[in-house]
Amino acid sequence: MPGLTAMMALAWAPSSSVNLRFGSGGGRKAASAMPLVKKSSSSSSSAHLLGRSRARAAATAATAACDEQQLQTMELLRRLGEDGWVEEHMLSLLTPVAEAWQPADLLPAFAATAEEQRSQVAELQARAAGVPDDLLVCLVGNMVTEEGLPTYMTMANRVRGIDDATGCDGHGWARWLRGWTAEENRHGDALNRYLYLCGRVDMRQVERTVHHLLRGGMRTLEPSCPCHGFIYVAFQERATFVSHARTARRAALHGDACLAKLCGAVAADEKRHEAAYTRAVARCFEADPDAAVRALAAVMRAKVTMPGELMTDGRDENLFDHFAAVAQRVGVYTAADYGDMVEHFVRRWGVAELGGLSGEGRRAQDYVCGLPRKIRRMEQLAHDCAAQKEAQPVSFSWVFERPVRLH
């Protein structure tokens, strides 16, 4: 799942993160040397203790309300996994295994004769020879991120009530998670095999990067609300669709029909997965608009980054930043796309039209609805800043240390 440095991995907000701050009862010193009426120390102490008691009661009530809301959300999702909603609205978007494409369908067939095999590989390599290094860097970065799937499945399976506790649970959410993982697994496999066959990249360095990413993991905190995860993945799936679709178009422009078809197939999968998670979030908005809009605002404030943020090849500590900069320059995925995505989901989930919200819910609504405009202003400033910089090349081990321009 490719993306930009500007998109940061989801920081889950635990219930204890409700940030309620209360005064200590101290206040500022009086301007005069002596107050007109001197209060007794016992009266002051009693008032102070009363204030602290009320503060503790308010904090306890807020935490209890938050916990109760989470329990209600988890109960809703549990019912959806058992009453057929997940099967009808999400599982129906998965392709039956017998009809699904497999990497072998899109790459040279090794069931052919030795001569046919050599001919097909030679044709693939001849077409790949026209793909520029900057697009190869984007392709490798996308593939490495796709190969982090074991981490992503682990992250998705942490929410009690909708998790796959045994590894083969029968409820809808568990079946969805396994089906989603099975489809996603083909993406890394297909891209990896293409890169191996094309002969344009240093596969040992690419494989080391995948190894590092799986060992390094993904920077997240303990999940507190399933809706947070659905929102995050909806954004990720849309970002991935955009990136793979644009890679497909650029590959076609450079004459590589095999790569274009492969990336197009991956993009089509990501589009279906985006639709599924978008429906899950929409259902959360229907059930509890106030909780859902606050969850959306929490995700947006934490920023949505790519799960491959921690990638490294063991040499370049800023590898993800450099990959993201190349993707921005080439136009495979840009900061402007992030603003477009926020606007798309705000419209899709009807955020601006929500009514009957709490004070916190209205503040979250205002924040989210105003975010696309802020993102575009920041993107324009970043664009202007980049335009003033000199062309800066960086050597990528993925392409045998050949330099690739960042800006």
Among residues 146, 189, 290, 313, which one is catalytic? 146
Q: Is 269 among the catalytic positions?
A: yes
Instruction: Say if residue 237 carries a ligand binding annotation.
Output: yes
Q: Is 240 among the catalytic positions?
A: yes
Q: Is 101 among the catalytic positions?
A: yes
Instruction: Say if residue 270 carries a ligand binding annotation.
Output: yes
Q: Is 176 among the catalytic positions?
A: no
Q: Is 146 among the catalytic positions?
A: yes
Among residues 164, 270, 274, 309, which one is catalytic? 270
Q: Is 334 among the catalytic positions?
A: no
Instruction: Say if residue 68 carries a ligand binding annotation.
Output: no
Among residues 89, 171, 187, 322, which one is catalytic? 187
Nearest in space to 335 (alpha carbons), one of 324, 348, 344, 345: 324
Among residues 145, 209, 240, 247, which one is catalytic? 240
Q: Is 187 among the catalytic positions?
A: yes
Question: Which pair of tokens denotes residue 233?
Answer: 């993945």
Question: Which pair of tokens denotes residue 138?
Answer: 């984007």
Among residues 101, 212, 288, 312, which one is catalytic? 101
Among residues 269, 274, 316, 379, which one is catalytic? 269
- The CA-to-CA distance between both ends of the chain, in Å, stands at 22
Q: Is 343 among the catalytic positions?
A: no
- What distance in Å separates the CA atoms of residue 239 and residue 69, rounded to the nearest whole number? 30
Instruction: Say if residue 273 carries a ligand binding annotation.
Output: yes
Among residues 133, 183, 184, 337, which one is catalytic? 184
Q: Is 273 among the catalytic positions?
A: yes
- What distance in Å separates the CA atoms of residue 335 and residue 382, rounded to the nearest whole number? 9
- What distance in Å separates the CA atoms of residue 230 and residue 346, rounded to the nearest whole number? 14
**What contacts 265, CB < 8 A, 6 or more positions away?**
101, 106, 190
Among residues 273, 278, 349, 379, which one is catalytic? 273
- Residues marked active site are found at 101, 146, 184, 187, 237, 240, 269-270, 273
Annotated binding site: which residue ranges?
Answer: 146, 184, 187, 237, 270, 273
| Binding-site sequence positions for Fe cation | 146, 184, 187, 237, 270, 273
